[in-house]
Amino acid sequence: MQEVTHSYLDELNDIQRQAVVQTEGPIMVIAGPGSGKTRVLTYKIAHLINIGVPPWQILALTFTNKAAREMKERIEAVVGSSARRVWAGTFHSIFARILRVEAHRIGYPNDFTIYDTDDTKSLVNELIKSMDLDKKAYNAGVIRSRISASKSNLITPKAYSQNEDMLNYDRMNRRPMTYKIYEKYVARCKRSGAMDFDDLLLQMFRLLYENPDNVKEKYQRQFSHLLVDEFQDTNFLQYEILKQFVNYEDSPHNVCIVGDDAQSIYSFRGATIENILQFETDFPNLNTFKLEQNYRSSQHIVDAANGVIGYNRRQIDKKIWTDKIGDQKIKVIKTISDNEEGRRVADLIIEQKHRHNLSNSDIAILYRTNAQSRVFEEFLRRQNIQYRIYGGLSFYQRKEVKDLLAYMRMTVNPNDDEALKRVINYPKRGIGASTVNKLLAIADDNQVSLWQTIPHVQLSKRAMSNLAEFAALIATLRKHMAEGKNAYDLAVLISKRSGIVSALKTDNTMEGVGRLENLNALLDGVKDFVENDEVIEGENPLDKTLASYLQSIALITDMDNDKEEKETVSLMSTHACKGLEFKSVFVVGMEENLFPSYMSLSSPDQIEEERRLFYVAITRAEEYLTITYSNSRYQHGQMRFNDPSRFLEELPPETIDSVIPLKQKQGFGEPKILGNFKPTGLKRVKKLMIDPQNFHPDDSSKIKPGMRVLHLKFGEGNVLDIDERFVATIEFDQIAVNPKKRIMLQYAKLQILD
């Protein structure tokens, strides 16, 4: 193939350039952390356009809308406005776009509703109740996950009911009717004209598989080049859909996947590392390019990452390297308790800000579970360090926002059962649970939607009047929609006619004012949607309908909701940190049973995924990496004593400074202090003079005034008094300032000494 020279190619290193200019046949780009993956992907699309591939024939699939937007912006900077005509978006948004045109071919309305997590949970709960099943055994979240996993593996309700392994698993877990819930769930969604997020994939596969001549061939011919970002995060179903697009007679197999097997960390969402490991088997004429130069991290961090991931058996061979030398080795710090860990990290953040002139936004604290954030939040507040929890409650998950959106959904699709149940009595209009239950019963008996049952239900005169009032409201809103009102004008009308705005205005508290502001912000978003004049290839630029708006916001991911970065330290789980980078990173809670998680210890494959998760965490750091672990911590209300994580001993010794846990036969030995760095975290051990392993708290009801007791944190003391609320006053020997502590015996952990 003759190479075309363009100035943007000069910005790439040799291997990046080779990956970009190879435009034909199957291509796999293995992109290590900080290796310029996004640049290669965007420049590759720009290059395709520059050599004459029509942009609307390029399909680029990502995992967040934010990534798709940034991709288009970068392409546009190279090739101009034609970049807007590229089909770039998440799997779900692109497939929803196609299904809006083709869904009628598989028995769904083209204006189908998209059910979010709350909708699906509500529906599952309703089915569990209607089938009179035990809520403890049939946990709605577990059932939802079971249904989701089945769909992601192309297991239909019928196939599920005939799969003895799955049925036996359910019987063992006292959930033998799971298959029946799945069957009813699918029927209810179909009847409501609704798809959940998994359906956007499953129904897309059905559409292509069941319509090979008129639909599959149409899109195979339309998309001459297919690119997939973060391919290691794809699940079985996503890969099967990709094959439907590119595997056909005389196909050139112009498919390019970009990813890193060492960053495959989402198996709990259904992602499978097998997709990227087996890609060469499925496409034997594959061209593979390995981006191994890391532009982000210093030498010690890169060497540590290579050392750790080298312990994994199943991986694509590569060696990440960097030319950023850096003089900061990795600090590993041992603390006596999780509180001490929180205090030590907060102190070190202050120290780094002063010594290295870092700002808050340069720093991140990464933990294995979200529950670990509490102690770090507490000590950051004490030090007056501004912080934010990454991935808080999404704007679109707030109650008042969901309420107004439910009215909008009812206006577009009155057969949407979940939307109807949410707003039929909000604001309150005298339609109680008994009325809704009667509607549900009629709907189930006749296999129709709740909306269709309203004219046929027999109720008291007052209840009938209230129900008729609600039905008339929805009918009026639908009439205005039919008259052609745009999304914003209709949304304002809905907010007023529904009574939501009036209800919120009666609450003058700060929370009430905040809820009203959220509602106004939602309406502002609708207005922005209507006034946005961007033209997208294949879509009507005048489509500013409410249905189109609802689709656009239904596909927003949590990451897409993030506002502009503020001057704050970022706290997040290790799963949430992928794709981000910070000058200084603290990876905390590095203990067995926590990281790696206790749930992974019985499976070698799961241990390897936990190791990949640690690899992702440490490669977020550019210059400073601090790893902490604790002898003891509270978990689920209990004091737990964990060994240091096995991953710590996998760190190459030459990359570590300061406190180094040395491996002995029975576990890690005492920390060794090197250099001038003297962590105060080790001093607390002498003050306590308690061996946590020998501490055995007694029944608090046996504790009486005058007894000598031992407390894990405060040491030995005398019980002076116990009041009527069972609060003990104890004077501790080893506390010089304020030795008298008042402790609630109900929660106290005290060992009786005499």
Cα–Cα distance, 40 to 18 (Å, whole number): 10
Tokens representing residue 678 in the block: 């003297």
Q: What letter does residue 690 receive in the DSSP assignment?
A: -
Cα–Cα distances in angstroms (integers) from residue 748 to residues 45, 134, 679, 741, in the given order: 62, 35, 29, 12
Catalytic annotation, pick one of 39, 85, 421, 620: 620
Backbone dihedral region for residue 427 (phi beyond 0: left; psi -120 to 50: alpha; all else: beta) = beta
Cα–Cα distance, 398 to 401 (Å, whole number): 5
Buried b (16+ CB within 10 A) or exposed e, 715-740: bbbbbeebeeeeebbbebeeeeeeee
Per the DSSP assignment, residues forming a β-bridge with 570 are 364, 388
Tokens representing residue 425 in the block: 């009595």
Q: What letter does residue 212 receive in the DSSP assignment?
A: I
Per the DSSP assignment, residues forming a β-bridge with 630 are 335
Cα–Cα distance, 687 to 45 (Å, whole number): 62
Cα–Cα distances in angstroms (integers) from residue 604 to residues 312, 574, 599, 600, in the given order: 9, 20, 11, 8
Residue 600 sits at the vertex; the CA angle it makes with 594 and 604, to the nearest 5 degrees, is 130
Crossing angle, helix 433-446 and helix 117-130, to 10 degrees? Answer: 80
Cα–Cα distance, 125 to 379 (Å, whole number): 39
Per the DSSP assignment, residues forming a β-bridge with 721 are 729
Is 716 annotated as catalytic?
Answer: no
Q: What letter does residue 426 receive in the DSSP assignment?
A: S
Q: Which residues contact 464 (CB under 8 A, 6 or more apart)?
A: 457
3-state SS, 306-345, equals HHHHCCCCCCCCCCCECCCCCCCCEEEEEECCHHHHHHHH
Catalytic annotation, pick one of 18, 22, 23, 38: 38
- How many other CB atoms are there within 10 angstroms of residue 131's CB atom? 12
Cα–Cα distance, 77 to 718 (Å, whole number): 73
Task: Find out whether 89 and 61 touch, Cβ atoms under 8 Å.
Answer: yes
Is 230 annotated as catalytic?
Answer: yes
Task: Find out whether 626 and 333 touch, Cβ atoms under 8 Å.
Answer: yes
Look at the block and give the residue holding tokens 């030590």: 344
Side chain identity, residue 276: I
Cα–Cα distances in angstroms (integers) from residue 441 to residues 127, 139, 189, 214, 746, in the given order: 11, 22, 16, 40, 47
Task: Find out whether 126 and 143 touch, Cβ atoms under 8 Å.
Answer: no
Crossing angle, helix 178-191 and helix 140-152, to 10 degrees? Answer: 80
Is 292 annotated as catalytic?
Answer: no
Q: Give the burial class of 286: count Cβ atoms within 10 A of its Cβ; 0-12 exposed, 13-18 middle, 19 or more buried.
A: middle
Catalytic annotation, pick one of 229, 240, 622, 623: 229
Tokens representing residue 4 in the block: 């075309």
User: Where does 225-313 show beta strands of DSSP type E?
Assistant: 225-228, 255-259, 287-291
Total H helices, total E strands in the chain: 28, 26
Cα–Cα distance, 153 to 141 (Å, whole number): 18
Cα–Cα distances in angstroms (integers) from residue 99 to residues 107, 215, 554, in the given order: 11, 11, 14
Is 382 annotated as catalytic?
Answer: no
Catalytic annotation, pick one of 170, 230, 338, 608: 230
Residue 626 sits at the vertex; the CA angle it makes with 625 and 630, to the nearest 5 degrees, is 155
Which string of DSSP letters, residue by residue, matches 349-368? HHHHHHHS---GGGEEEEES
- What is the 3-state composition of the chain as percent helix, strand, coil, each rounded to the nearest 5? 50, 15, 35
User: Where does 139-191 show beta strands of DSSP type E?
Assistant: none
Catalytic annotation, pick one of 37, 44, 188, 343: 37
Catalytically active residues are 37-38, 229-230, 263, 620
